[in-house]
Chain A
Amino acid sequence: MENHTHQIRLHGDGGKYFGILIVNLLFTIITLGLYYPWARAKNLQYLYGETEFAGSRFQFHGTGNEMFKGFIKALAIVFVLGLIYNLSILSKNSAIIFVGVAVYILGLLTIIPLAIHGGLRYRLSRTSWRGIHMGYRGNLRELFGIWFKGILLTVLTLGIYGSWFNIALTQYLMKHVRLGNVKFRYDGDGSDYFWLNVKGTILTILTLGIYSFWYARDVNHYYFNNTKLEQDEAVSDFQSNLTAGDIFITGITNYFLIVFTLGIGTPWAILRQMRMTINNLELNGPFNPDAVVQTEEDYNDATGDDLLDSLDIGLDF
């Protein structure tokens, strides 16, 4: 089998993106926020449509209607949790406050894996490339197992287990991602990731923050360079060529781009930031872009995706 390099590119035009964001903002304000799910759908539709892999664009198929239903459900869940929390605090009775806060924290901890599961199923089902849909086939019970074990051990080890937790979670999620009959895999290792974080934290402190750019690069490389694609047993590797300089320069210039234009430059800055990560990615190996076959089913419940959005957790694929 021949090996190839396939590039990933984010095109996108700042002016056009500015227009989309302005229209989104305008409609959202006029409708007192009700348009927000449609705005989010349009935003994703544009960004996916501008992302090219092996010469073809991605597509986002989610619709405002689907996301609105999820939005309402997510809002209701977050609202009920917030209500329990606020009412218990207002009661001024320490026993009730204790129960209320415990329910709130447990509720949040339960919601997050639910949201990740539902969010991935929806978002990936709504993502296609060359007409082939992605999908997530994870099992919610298994995810809960990894999640609560991870939270518990991370708390008991005062955060040390966090690195292993992070890797275990990524491995589980990746293992169940599909692009048609192509499977994803993540080969990261908890110990390596732990020492990477130790080194990064210590050097960042010693250099008064200067090392943080190299640290961010290392985390980026560790994430992408351990991500693999399996197509009929043939494995291809992602590779990130991001440098610390890229992170530094993009960060500084974006900062000025936003500040000196009083925020008008934000769409350009967002695109530049995404381009920095995406355009430095490539896939090396025997992957054959013409041999992917449709396998995944339709899935239209957007609650998880909207929950992730309301909890401010990003789905970065």
Chain B
Amino acid sequence: MNYTGKYFDGKSSVGHVADIQLNSFQIDIFYTDAAFQAHHVQWNTDKIHKNDFAEHDKVILKYGDFPFQYIEVTHKGFEHDLKRQYPLAPFHKSAYNWVFSKGAIGLVVMAMAFLGILAFTYFYVVPWGAEKFAMTLPVEWEQQLGESVYSKMVSEESINETDTKLINDFFKKLNYPTDYNIRVVVVKDNVVNAYALPGGRIVVYEGILRKMDDYRELTALLSHEFSHVQLKHSTRNIARSLSSALLLSVLFGDASGITAIIIENADAIKQLGYSRQLEEDADRNGLALMKKRKIDPHGMKELFETLQKESEGEEDGYKFLSTHPLTKDRITFVNKEISKKDFIWQPDAELDSLYKEIQINLEE
């Protein structure tokens, strides 16, 4: 196969018009220079450089070591003949040329697949990984995180000091085994809400205490929130919801701001809903704790039912429901758990009296 092209010898910019032959094992190049001297150059196909992004009507091949030689052939059939003559030669192999060989539709499909992978990673893989990572964090780190969020939140709230002391006494009487330093705080606000922060802070609003009927319901609430802390739900939840934002901030160059982002989002953390699975885990764990402590588990069911029923009439204030979705399914779930295990319970005078004191201090 013979072609006419230009040969550059790597020594000067003169393009010699050359006869280019594609022979079985090598490319032979014949040209005559300005001094009418005839030249024959042989190219071993293994030493031809990779030919990415070749254009169909113009092929430029580069050869050997520095300074490189070139041939330039402007002919539609040349690229095709090169491939046919040297199908196994290394200079053809290129991931890019493989992609281009798929044509426009192939490119679009690849772009879509790529966007799909990206979206999947962003919405599922990253949060999942962040959650797994969060579970390995040491308690001290969780505590630090919880404290920084807590101090930001509490600066905006006023605290019922007496009830805070009483409710901590109440919680200590429950005697739940834990590595966390659990500290409960009662906030003077009529919002019906309670939430747990990573590392051991539990925030209870006066509003939810007012809705309660007896100490069993308070035990249920605290057992549930404590379970969120103990099972690292709060840490996992924050890691999950902020992971994508964190990833973006790391990708775009601000790796230092992780804690800053978490603190900035402190208010959003209050509103974070748990997944249904996490809620069930917390309910189950809470019930198990109550069982061990011999407290009537119906307290949990009754607490949920009161909150559920009363919320139907009102629009505002029931923040607990947005962060702890109380579906009918969940009440059924609690019922089932109660009937499954043989609970034994007995009245607890100490808890009862602490509970009553808490209620009295609300009335002021």
- Size category of the binding interface on chain B: 20 to 34
Q: Which of A156-164, A165-173, A207-215, A285-293 contacts B (4 or more CB under 8 A)?
A: A285-293
Q: Max chain B CB contacts within 10 Å: which of A26, A46, A49, A180?
A: A26
B12 touches A23 (CB 8 A): no
Interface string of A254-292 (1 = CB under 8 A from B): 000000000010000000000000000000000001111
A20 touches B53 (CB 8 A): yes
Interface status of A114 (Cβ within 8 A of chain B): no
Residues 24-77 of B contacting A (Cβ, < 8 Å): 52-53, 60, 62, 66-70, 72
A131 touches B96 (CB 8 A): no
Residues 176-209 of A contacting B (Cβ, < 8 Å): 180
Q: How far is the CA of A196 from the CA of B202 in the complex (A)?
A: 66
B256 touches A16 (CB 8 A): no
Q: Which of B104-112, B235-243, B301-309, B330-338 contacts A (4 or more CB under 8 A)?
A: B104-112
A16 touches B68 (CB 8 A): no
Q: How far is the CA of A45 from the CA of B60 in the complex (A)?
A: 13
Q: How far is the CA of A29 from the CA of B96 in the complex (A)?
A: 16
CB distance from A315 to the nearest CB of B (A): 21
B96 touches A180 (CB 8 A): no
Q: Max chain A CB contacts within 10 Å: which of B72, B96, B107?
A: B96
User: Which residues of chain A are near B124, meaning CB under 8 Å?
Assistant: none
Q: Max chain A CB contacts within 10 Å: which of B15, B67, B100?
A: B67
A130 touches B67 (CB 8 A): no
Interface status of B14 (Cβ within 8 A of chain A): yes
User: Which residues of chain A are near B114, meaning CB under 8 Å?
Assistant: 22, 25-26
User: Which residues of chain A are near B68, meaning CB under 8 Å?
Assistant: 61, 128, 131
A132 touches B107 (CB 8 A): no
User: Which residues of chain A are near B66, meaning CB under 8 Å?
Assistant: 133, 298
CB distance from B107 to the nearest CB of A (A): 5
Interface status of B360 (Cβ within 8 A of chain A): no
B110 touches A22 (CB 8 A): yes
User: Which residues of chain A are near B96, meaning CB under 8 Å?
Assistant: 19-20, 23, 42
Residues 10-55 of A contacting B (Cβ, < 8 Å): 15-16, 18-20, 22-23, 25-27, 29, 42, 45-46, 49
Q: Which of B3-11, B157-165, B170-178, B342-350 contacts A (4 or more CB under 8 A)?
A: B3-11
Q: How far is the CA of A179 from the CA of B270 in the complex (A)?
A: 65
User: Which residues of chain B are near A290, meaning CB under 8 Å?
Assistant: 12-15
A49 touches B100 (CB 8 A): no
**A16-B100, A19-B96, A42-B52 given; A180·B111 CB < 8 A:** no
CB distance from A261 to the nearest CB of B (A): 11
Q: How far is the CA of A26 from the CA of B13 in the complex (A)?
A: 38
Q: How many A-B residue pairs have CB under 8 A?
A: 82
CB distance from A267 to the nearest CB of B (A): 11
User: Which residues of chain A are near B70, meaning CB under 8 Å?
Assistant: 59, 130-131
CB distance from B148 to the nearest CB of A (A): 16
A29 touches B118 (CB 8 A): yes
Q: How far is the CA of A294 from the CA of B114 in the complex (A)?
A: 44
Interface status of B99 (Cβ within 8 A of chain A): yes
User: Which residues of chain A are near B52, meaning CB under 8 Å?
Assistant: 42, 45-46
Determine which of B8, B13, B99 lies in contact with A19 in the assembled complex, contact meaning CB atoms within 8 Å. Answer: B99
A294 touches B12 (CB 8 A): yes
User: Which residues of chain B are near A59, meaning CB under 8 Å?
Assistant: 60, 62, 70
Q: How far is the CA of A299 from the CA of B10 in the complex (A)?
A: 16
A132 touches B13 (CB 8 A): yes
Interface status of A104 (Cβ within 8 A of chain B): no
Residues 111-165 of B contacting A (Cβ, < 8 Å): 111, 114, 118
A131 touches B13 (CB 8 A): yes
Q: How far is the CA of A18 from the CA of B99 in the complex (A)?
A: 11
**A18-B107, A292-B13 given; A23·B95 CB < 8 A:** yes
A49 touches B60 (CB 8 A): yes
Interface status of A57 (Cβ within 8 A of chain B): yes
B53 touches A294 (CB 8 A): no
**A57-B60, A131-B70 given; A15·B107 CB < 8 A:** yes
B110 touches A131 (CB 8 A): no
User: Which residues of chain B are near A264, meaning CB under 8 Å?
Assistant: 111
Q: Max chain A CB contacts within 10 Å: which of B8, B14, B66, B111?
A: B66
CB distance from B247 to the nearest CB of A (A): 12
Interface status of A139 (Cβ within 8 A of chain B): no
Instruction: For B15, give the chain A residue with the smallest CB separation.
Output: A130
Determine which of A15, A18, A294 lies in contact with B10 in the assembled complex, contact meaning CB atoms within 8 Å. Answer: A294
Q: How far is the CA of A289 from the CA of B14 in the complex (A)?
A: 8
Interface status of A56 (Cβ within 8 A of chain B): yes
Q: How far is the CA of A15 from the CA of B11 in the complex (A)?
A: 35
Interface status of A86 (Cβ within 8 A of chain B): yes
Determine which of A16, A22, A180, A292 lies in contact with B53 in the assembled complex, contact meaning CB atoms within 8 Å. Answer: A16
Interface status of A224 (Cβ within 8 A of chain B): no
User: Which residues of chain A are near B118, meaning CB under 8 Å?
Assistant: 29
User: Which residues of chain A are near B67, meaning CB under 8 Å?
Assistant: 131, 133, 294
CB distance from B16 to the nearest CB of A (A): 10
A15 touches B104 (CB 8 A): yes
User: Which residues of chain B are near A42, meaning CB under 8 Å?
Assistant: 52, 96
User: Which residues of chain B are near A298, meaning CB under 8 Å?
Assistant: 66
**A15-B104, A23-B96, A46-B53 given; A293·B12 CB < 8 A:** yes
* Chain A to chain B contacts (Cβ below 8 Å), 8 pairs: A15-B104, A16-B100, A20-B96, A22-B111, A49-B53, A129-B13, A130-B70, A294-B11
Give 10 new A-B contacts, CB below 8 A, not counting A22-B110, A86-B256: A15-B104, A56-B15, A56-B72, A59-B62, A61-B62, A128-B68, A131-B67, A131-B70, A290-B14, A294-B11
A residues sitting closer than 8 Å to B (CB atoms) are 15-16, 18-20, 22-23, 25-27, 29, 42, 45-46, 49, 56-57, 59, 61, 86, 128-133, 180, 264, 289-294, 298
Which 6 A-B pairs give the minimum distances between C-beta atoms?
A292-B13, A131-B8, A130-B13, A298-B66, A131-B10, A290-B14
